[in-house]
Amino acid sequence: MKLFRRLRTDPVWKDEFSIDRADEHYVSRRQFTKFLVLTSLGMFVGNMWILARSWFSKEPVYPEKSICRATDIPIGGVRLFRYPTQKDACILIRTEDGNFVAYTQKCTHLSCAVYYAREKNRLECPCHEGYFSIKDGSVLQGPPPRPLPRVVLERRGDELVAVGMRIHESI
């Protein structure tokens, strides 16, 4: 026993201490598996939550709003109106073939107001020369990153009614 005490380098109190320093960073296979299972479970629950939210999120509901009488607008004529709220400026155009199309007036680049250039039959933004198609609101030229949101119209007799918006899609 005397020989043993002479050879040891650790102090005696370490014999009584419950944690072995060498084992402090040791991770057992069981602990590692537990960590992996819990992490995977957390990620799975998170993804299910995102999926459930996207399933149950509601489509926006737009009001119906009468814009004007169809006969009030000549071929190539325009009418400015606000839809779906009083803050949202829109433009209604009677095209050369007699149909009606309506778009938001807010350019998708930096929100300048677009106007109808009848001679070129397109919507133009004066700020950075962004041009949009009258057919579907798609970008013809310039920096706008997306098409103009389109106002969905219904014709009820002679009345033109806005009933919704179509955003970022060609029609």
Which residues are near ligand FES by CB under 6 A? 107, 109-110, 112, 125, 127-128, 130, 142-144
- Smallest gap from residue 138 Cβ to ligand FES (A): 14
CB nearer ligand FES, residue 144 or residue 147: 144
75 CB-near residues (< 8 Å, 6+ apart): 94, 95, 96, 98
In whole angstroms, give the CA distance from residue 150 to residue 105.
10
CB nearer ligand FES, residue 67 or residue 125: 125
Helix (H, G, I), strand (E, B) or coil at 160: strand
The answer to whether residues 84 and 63 touch, using CB atoms and an 8 Å cutoff, is yes
CB nearer ligand FES, residue 67 or residue 131: 131
- Smallest gap from residue 111 Cβ to ligand FES (A): 6
The DSSP 8-state label assigned to residue 96 in this structure reads T
CB nearer ligand FES, residue 127 or residue 153: 127
- Smallest gap from residue 129 Cβ to ligand FES (A): 7
- Smallest gap from residue 108 Cβ to ligand FES (A): 7
CB nearer ligand FES, residue 142 or residue 152: 142
Could you tell me the CA-to-CA distances from 154 to 7, 64, 135 in Å, in that order? 97, 10, 16
The answer to whether residues 137 and 151 touch, using CB atoms and an 8 Å cutoff, is no
- Smallest gap from residue 80 Cβ to ligand FES (A): 17
The answer to whether residues 81 and 162 touch, using CB atoms and an 8 Å cutoff, is yes
Q: Order of strands across the sheet with 122-125?
A: 115-117, 122-125, 130-133, 139-141
